[in-house]
Amino acid sequence: MKLVIAEKPSVAMSLAAVLGANEKKDGYLEGNGYLVSWCVGHLLELAQPEAYKEQYAKWRYADLPILPTAWKYEVPKDKKKQLDLLCRLMKDSRVDSVVCATDAGREGELIFRLVYQYAKCKKPMERLWISSMEDAAIHDGFEHLRPGSSYDTLFDAALCRAGADWLVGINATRLFSVLYGVTLNVGRVMSPTLALLVQREAQIRNFKSKSFYVPEITCGGFTASGERQEEQEKAETIRLSCDGQSATVRSVEKQTKTVQPPRLYDLTTLQRECNRIYGYTAQQTLDYLQSLYEKKLATYPRTDSQYLTEDMQATAASLVLWLRDNLPFGKGCKGEPDIERVTDGSKVTDHHAIIPTVEIARTDLASLPSGERDVLTLIAARLLCATSQAHKFEAVTAFLDCAGYNFLAKGKTVLQDGWKEADRLYRMGLKQKPEEKDNEDAALPELEENQTFSSVAASIREGKTSPPKHYTEDSLLAAMETAGAEDMPEDAERKGLGTPATRAATLEKLVAVGFVERKKKQLLPTEKGVNLITVLPDNIKSPLLTAEWESRLKQVEHGEVSADVFMDGIAEMNRELVKAHTAPEEQFTKLFEAGRKDREAVGTCPRCGASVYEGQKGFFCENRDCAFALWKDNRFFSSKKKSITKTVAAALLKEGRISMSGLYSEKTGRAYDAVVVLDDTGGKYVNFKLEFPQKKGGRK
C-alpha cells in the first residue's frame, strides 16, 4: 500500500478521487491500495533563537551572531494533530512506500521532507511531479513516479533558502534593532527590494524637470517635427522662419516590420499583467491562479518558464481551436495555430508555462469568482495571441526641409493584424481599459521625394522632461526579476531578487511591517522604510549581492554547489556584519528618535528597577545583565488556558497580583476565579501562585 501525502486537503481530495481512495477517515482517505493524506502548509517551522539558548530570548549585541550548528524545528499548535497523524500513517505496517505529492517545487519538497525526517521514516520514497491537476495528468504522474532521491538537491536548496533567510533575518534584525533602539526588520530579499523603492523615490525627489520646445510644421494633412530645443527663443526663431514658407520632401524611407506574438505567461509576467490590467496585487494573482490550479482549470502557477514541452503540442493545438471557437476574442485569430512557436522543452525547467487546461471547455466561466475568471480569461487570451500570426506593418519615415531646417514625420500602415487583433478584441471586453504602452502612429499620405508643400503652418510644441515613475507592482516585479542581471554571468540560470514563487510574499511583508504603503497602484516607501535603508550596509541591501545568492541557490539545486559551502558563505557574511557594526552611526541615530519615544514601557522590573518592554515572545527587562522575563506562553498560565497579555503583565509588575476569572482546572475540567500572584524568587524562571478570595462566613 502506498501512502500519498499532498500539500493541501483540496489537492489530496482530487488525487484520492483519481486513485480510487474513496473511503473517508479522520484526516485521510483510503482505498484501492492507497492512503491519501495531506499537510496544511508547513507542519514544521524553524525554531526561534531561544530554542537554542534561553538567553537568546532577549536581544543583545553580545549574543550575535546566532549561528546554529544543527537546525531545530517547532510544530505550530494548530498543526500538531495532522503531523501526529502523518507520523502514524508512515509507521503503519500496511504502508510499503511513501509518495511525496506536495507542490512540485522547492517549498513543496521542503514541506514533505521535514515531515518524513521528523517521523524518522525509512520507507522508500517516490515523487509525484505534475504541472496540472487534470485527471489525465494525475493518472500519468502516478504511472511515472520518480525516485525521491532524484530531488535530494532540490531539498538541499530549500533547506539553504530557509536557513539563509533565518540567519540574515534573525541576526541583521537584532543587530540593527539593538544598535538603534527600535525594531528594524531586515530580510535577505525584503531589504534589497525595499532599497529599489527607496532609490527610485530619491531619483524622483532629486529630479529637476526642464522645459523643451519642439518646432513643428503642418502640411498636406500631417505634422512633421523638428529638433528639440532647450531654449524657447531658438524654437521661436525656427517657427518664424518656417511659418508660411514651402517645405520639400527630401527622402522617404519605408520598412516592413514584424512584431512577433508575445510569449506565454510565467508567474511573474502574469502577475505584472494582472496588476497593469486589473490592479490585482501579486499575491492576489497568485491566490486566484492557485485556486484555478486546484480546480483543474489552469496549470501549475509557480513557474519561471514561458514555453511548453514537445509532448504537449497536440493537447495545446486542440485547446487553441476550442478557445478560438468559444471565446469572444477568439474570432480575432486567423490561420493555423503556431504551436511550434511556444514549444521548447530545453527552456522548461521544473514546470512549463501557464495555460488553461481542457477542463475550461466543461466549465461555465460566469460561475467562477470574478478574480479567478479574470485571470483564466487573461491566460486564455495569451495562449491565443502567442500561437497566432505575427503582426506586420509598414513603417514610413519622411524627411522634410523647410527654410533650411530639418523636419521628420513618421507613420505606419498595418499590413497584417495578426495576434494584435485578438489582443484588441480581448481589451475591448474589459470594463476598465488599461493604458496603452505605445501610441501607434497614424498612416502618412503617399509621399514622394522632392514633393513640395507651400504655405506650411509652423508652431511650437512645449513639453517638460519627466522624472522616473513611481514603482507599481508591475514595474517592481520586473525590477526584482532583472536586479543585478547586467553584472552577472550570462549563463547564470537564475538572476534577480527572490523567485516567482516568493516575490508576492516579499511585497506583502514589506507592506505588513510598515516599510511600504500602497497608494492606488503605486508602491511607496514609508519614512520608516527609508530610514532603514539609510542605515543598512550594502551587503544587506544590495540587489546585486542578493541576486548572486539566488543564483547560488539554483546551483545547489543542480548539485553544482554543496549546501555546506552555501551556508558557510551566509554564516561568514553574518560574522562580518556583526564585526563591522559595533555601535550606531551617530549621523543616523536621530532618524529613530520618534520610534524610541513611541516605545512604551509596560512596567518596572521587580529585580533591578529598570523598565520592562514587550517583545515578540514576552516582556523583558531592558537591563542586559538582568534575566527577568515574563513569557507570554508561560506554562503556569497555559495550563489554565490563559496567557500573559500586556494588561496582565502591567498589573503583575505594578501590583504584584491580578484577579482573573475563567481559569481552567485540569483536575475537574471546570473554570474558576482566583488571584494570580507574582512569586519571583530571582531564579531562572519567574514563579506564580494562586490566592482565592475569602468566601462569606470566613471560609476560603
Rounded distance between C-alpha atoms, residue 395 and residue 410, angstroms = 7
Q: What would the mean pLDDT of 386-394 be, rounded to a whole number?
A: 96
Could you tell me the three cell numbers for 575? 560574522
Residue reference for cell 520586473: 478
pLDDT band at 700 (very low <50, low <70, confident <90, very high): very low
Same fold, 211-259+392-464 and 267-389: no
Task: Locate the domains of the chain by residue range.
Answer: 2-144, 160-205+470-590, 211-259+392-464, 267-389, 603-698
Q: What would the mean pLDDT of 224-235 be, rounded to a whole number?
A: 96
Q: Kindly name the residue from 151, 293, 300, 471 that is annotated as catalytic.
A: 300
Quick one: fold of 2-144? Rossmann fold (3.40.50)
Q: Which element (helix H / strand E) includes 699?
A: none
Share of the chain above pLDDT 90, in %: 70
Q: Has residue 487 got a pLDDT over 70?
A: no
What is the tens place of the pLDDT at every residue in 100-122? 999 988 999 999 999 999 999 99
What is the tens place of the pLDDT at every residue in 500-550? 888 999 999 999 888 999 998 899 999 989 999 999 998 889 888 888 888
pLDDT of residue 439: 47
pLDDT of residue 341: 94
Quick one: fold of 267-389? Topoisomerase I; domain 4 (1.10.290)
Could you tell me the three cell numbers for 384? 491565443
Mean pLDDT, the chain, as a whole number? 90
Cα→Cα distances 479→182, 203, 259, 515, 571, Å:
30, 15, 24, 18, 27
Quick one: fold of 160-205+470-590? Topoisomerase I; domain 2 (1.10.460)
What is the tens place of the pLDDT at every residue in 8-17? 999 999 999 9
**Catalytic annotation on 613?**
no
Q: Has residue 485 got a pLDDT over 80?
A: no
Which one has a higher pLDDT value, 431 or 161?
A: 161
Quick one: fold of 211-259+392-464? Topoisomerase I; domain 3 (2.70.20)
Q: Has residue 486 got a pLDDT over 70?
A: no
What is the tens place of the pLDDT at every residue in 617-671? 788 887 766 778 888 878 888 888 888 988 999 999 999 999 998 888 888 888 8
- Residues with Cβ within 8 Å of 458's Cβ and at least 6 positions away in sequence, in order, are 215, 216, 217, 218, 238, 239, 240, 242, 243, 244, 245, 402
Q: Has residue 694 got a pLDDT over 60?
A: yes
